[in-house]
Structure 1
Amino acid sequence: MTIRRLLLVLPLLVASWLLVLTLVMRFSDAAPGAVVLFPPDGFLSRLPTDVSVVAANGVSVTLVSDSPDMARRLYAAGAPWVLPAGLPGCLPLPDPR
């Protein structure tokens, strides 16, 4: 694979991966938490009462909630982009006990 082809394919791969993560968060409650990228000013004050902030920095806020449909409620609060946080991975691991 040439460098030129790699430079064309890599952004498509990253964009596809982010699209899949966005769809997983929007259409399932599989993730125990959420990462909101690029939260607008005042976003934290508009969060539902059952959502807790785990971490925050200049470009993202990590949130958790036990209530269902967290992504829909975060979008309603003004989140521009919500990704899943805390997923264990693609394959279920056996219990080590």
Structure 2
Amino acid sequence: MTIRGWLGGLALVIFSWIALLATVTIMSDQQEDLLFIFPAQSVLRELPEGVAVTDKGKFWMTVKSEETGVALEAYKAGTLLVLPAGLAGCFAFLD
């Protein structure tokens, strides 16, 4: 296999992982912390009450909420990508 093949495979794995995370975020709606990638300017006006911005950068924003449907509302407001933030990961059982 060539380097181009390996790089293409790696890009496919990364894209698939991000797509899976985005799908699980919408389908499960169980995450309290969310990461908005390229949030729209109007995203804060469109979100339900009780949503708190915990951190913000130029191209991203993390929010915390116990409300349901926040990820879907962020997409409706024009956010490009919504991912779960602050996941414990596979080693959460060690705590």
> When the two structures are superposed, what TM-score results if normalisation uses the length of structure 2?
0.83
SS at match of 2:40: coil
Tell me if 1:63 matches 2:63. Answer: yes
C-alpha distance in 2, partners of 1:94/1:11? 31
Q: Which runs of 5+ in 1 are unaligned?
A: none
The size of the alignment, in residue pairs, is 95
Please list the CA deviations of residues 36-87 of structure 1 after superposition, one character each: whole Å capped at 9, or x if unmatched: 1111223333332211101111110101101122212222333221111122
Instruction: Work out whether residues 25 and 31 of structure 1, in 8 Å CA contact, stay in contact via their aligned partners in 2.
Output: yes
Q: Determine which structure has the larger helix proportion and give its number.
A: 2
> When the two structures are superposed, what TM-score results if normalisation uses the length of structure 1?
0.82
2:8 aligns with 8
Per the TM alignment, residue 8 of structure 1 is displaced from its structure 2 partner at its CA by 1.2
Q: Which amino acid aligns with 1:81?
A: L
Identity across matched positions, percent: 37
Instruction: Work out whether residues 32 and 65 of structure 2, in 8 Å CA contact, stay in contact via their aligned partners in 1.
Output: yes
**Which stretch has the larger CA shift, 38-47 or 11-20?**
38-47
2:38 aligns with 38
**Moved segments of 4+, more than 6 Å:** none
Please list the CA deviations of residues 2-41 of structure 1 after superposition, one character each: whole Å capped at 9, or x if unmatched: 3121111111111101100001100002322111111122
C-alpha distance in 2, partners of 1:69/1:34? 11
Tell me if 1:81 matches 2:81. Answer: yes
1:52 aligns with 52
For 1:18-37, what aligned pairs fall within 5 Å after superposition? 18-37=18-37
Per the TM alignment, residue 92 of structure 1 is displaced from its structure 2 partner at its CA by 4.8
Q: Which runs of 5+ in 2 are unaligned?
A: none
